[in-house]
Amino acid sequence: MIPFSPQTQTNIEFAADLFRNSKHAVILSGAGLSTPSGIPDFRSTGTGLWSRDEPLEVASLNTFRTNPESFFAWFRPLASQIFYAQPNPAHTALAVLEQNGFVSSVITQNVDMLHQKAGSKTVIEMHGTMQTLTCSQCYHQVQAEPYLEPFVAHGEIPHCPKCNQTLKPDVILFGEQLPQATWYKAQKEARQCDLMLVVGSSLEVLPVAGLPMQALDRGAHLIIINNTPTYLNVRADVTVLEDVSTILPAITERVLNG
């Protein structure tokens, strides 16, 4: 067992108590949940994707439409990391909590499908998914896996099997709106929950960053586990600024076994 400081151990126990006493707990996960799986986040100094690239230049809908080759050249290393990534102990811990009735849903900003790979069933993907691709011309949708492997291995840009136009990964790029139905579902979960766990998110990207406030405004408890502080740390019942892949399994163990 990993030794924790007395303060961290107290926070783990308090978080576990909140889960045990909750009737509708919701997870909000961000890129920091997947960094232990080898997928870079966006904002960490020196290692985040946006510390190296200008997002509006490489990851915008306009770039995809006007210069798809440039978009796919930027996207290929990230797609490779996602394609080969496996869930880490934090993903597994959240899936175990759901399987045992302690989590109602996972709202995620991630597009890597690692929640699903770990076994989570109710996953609300706010920023889209890498699971499917959609034609930019005729809107025919296909499963991504047969196209991702040759793209990752050889740089083959995916084309529609019906009209041969470029296929777009079903992730939300800069300049695109969030899917309305997905956003409504996330808001409903935030407003109905009595406990929200924010994990691996800096809470800097709107409108998703506002979901914990919606939960707090309706009396929910809040737990935040992230490497850096967020704007809501002062409102949280529990905050832990440590590695999610060690803290979440410890909380899950405490929830299940006391």
Residue 54 pLDDT class (50, 70, 90 cuts): low
Mean pLDDT over each residue of the chain, to the nearest integer:
91
> Which tokens sit at 194?
């009595």
CA distance 160 to 142: 8
**Per-residue pLDDT, 78:** 86
234-256: average pLDDT: 97
CA distance 98 to 69: 40
CA distance 234 to 255: 24
Over residues 158-193, the pLDDT tens digits come to 999 999 999 999 999 988 888 899 999 999 999 999
- Residue spans of the domains in the chain: they are 1-39+87-127+177-258, 46-84+130-171
Q: Are 221 and 18 in contact (CB under 8 A)?
A: yes
Over residues 13-22, the pLDDT tens digits come to 999 999 999 9
Backbone angles phi, psi at 139, to 5 degrees: 65, 20
Provide the percentage of residues in the chain whose pLDDT is more than 90. Answer: 78
Q: Above 60 in pLDDT, residue 43?
A: no
The CATH class given to the 46-84+130-171 domain equals alpha beta
The CATH class given to the 1-39+87-127+177-258 domain equals alpha beta
DSSP state of 178: P
The residues assigned a catalytic role are 127
Over residues 115-156, the pLDDT tens digits come to 999 999 999 999 999 899 999 999 999 999 999 889 999 999
pTM: 0.90
**Per-residue pLDDT, 189:** 98
**Cα–Cα–Cα angle for 227, 230, 235, nearest 5°?**
120
> Which tokens sit at 253?
């163990």
CA distance 125 to 122: 10
